[in-house]
Amino acid sequence: MGWLILLALVALVLLALWKFGRVTGPALQFAAAGLLLAGAGYAWQGHPGAEGHYKPPPVRQKVPDTAFAETRGEMLGEFDNAATWLTLAESYQRSGDTKAGVDIIRSGLRKDDRDADLWVGLGNALVIHADGMMTPSAELAFQRAQAIAPDHPGPKFFYGLALAQGQKYDEAEAIWRNLLATAPPDASWREMVEERLAALAQARAMNLTVPQVR
């Protein structure tokens, strides 16, 4: 059947060239030679008798909300421009498409590269995409957020979370303790930082990995 279809196509092409394209003589012979060469390639490498096999698209494993998604509203806010981008990115992360999560936040940064919350979100998204490891690009994103908003607790807090997830406990603890030391006594987020320090101490005492804070 494959050969019959190929021959029919060759005939149709030559007929169209002769009738509608006014191709005649040597030009028509040259076109026929090209079509025959294509047929020779098909005969050499084609497998018309092989059975087709449907290959389903890879299934991404759905994951629950990360600690970043659960706590960023308290630390960063929920109703600003950054929250819109971060919420969209998190929907892709939950479906397992971590690269799309990174790309969406980068799209937000192309519109406003002075948004510290988006830089924090990018750092977190890059850590998620790297299966919980702090990569150089993620670290740069967190540092950029801190440079833009040096007095905001969010960049430092979430940088500490990412470090703890990568089992860099000493660095995470130092950041969180410094954050508490410079925080106002009535800061609404003090308890959140204290809880993380307590979880870190408990994990060390039990010789466990700190629960992932992706």
**pLDDT, tens digit, 9 for 90 and up, residues 79-102:** 578 889 999 999 999 888 999 999
Contact 107, 146 (CB under 8 A): no
72/196 Cα distance (integer angstroms): 14
pLDDT of amino acid 80? 73
pLDDT of amino acid 46? 55
Mean pLDDT calculated for residue range 177-196: 91
Per-residue pLDDT for 7 more than 80?
no
**pLDDT, tens digit, 9 for 90 and up, residues 18-53:** 555 555 556 555 555 555 556 555 555 555 555 555
Long-range CB contact pairs, 4-13, < 8 A, 24+: 6/39, 6/42, 10/35, 10/36, 10/39
Sorting pLDDT into bands at 50, 70 and 90, what band is 56? low
**pLDDT, tens digit, 9 for 90 and up, residues 133-159:** 899 999 999 999 999 999 999 999 999
Mean pLDDT calculated for residue range 164-168: 84
Percent of the chain clearing pLDDT 70 (strictly above) = 64
Sorting pLDDT into bands at 50, 70 and 90, what band is 213? very low
143/130 Cα distance (integer angstroms): 18
pTM score, whole prediction = 0.66
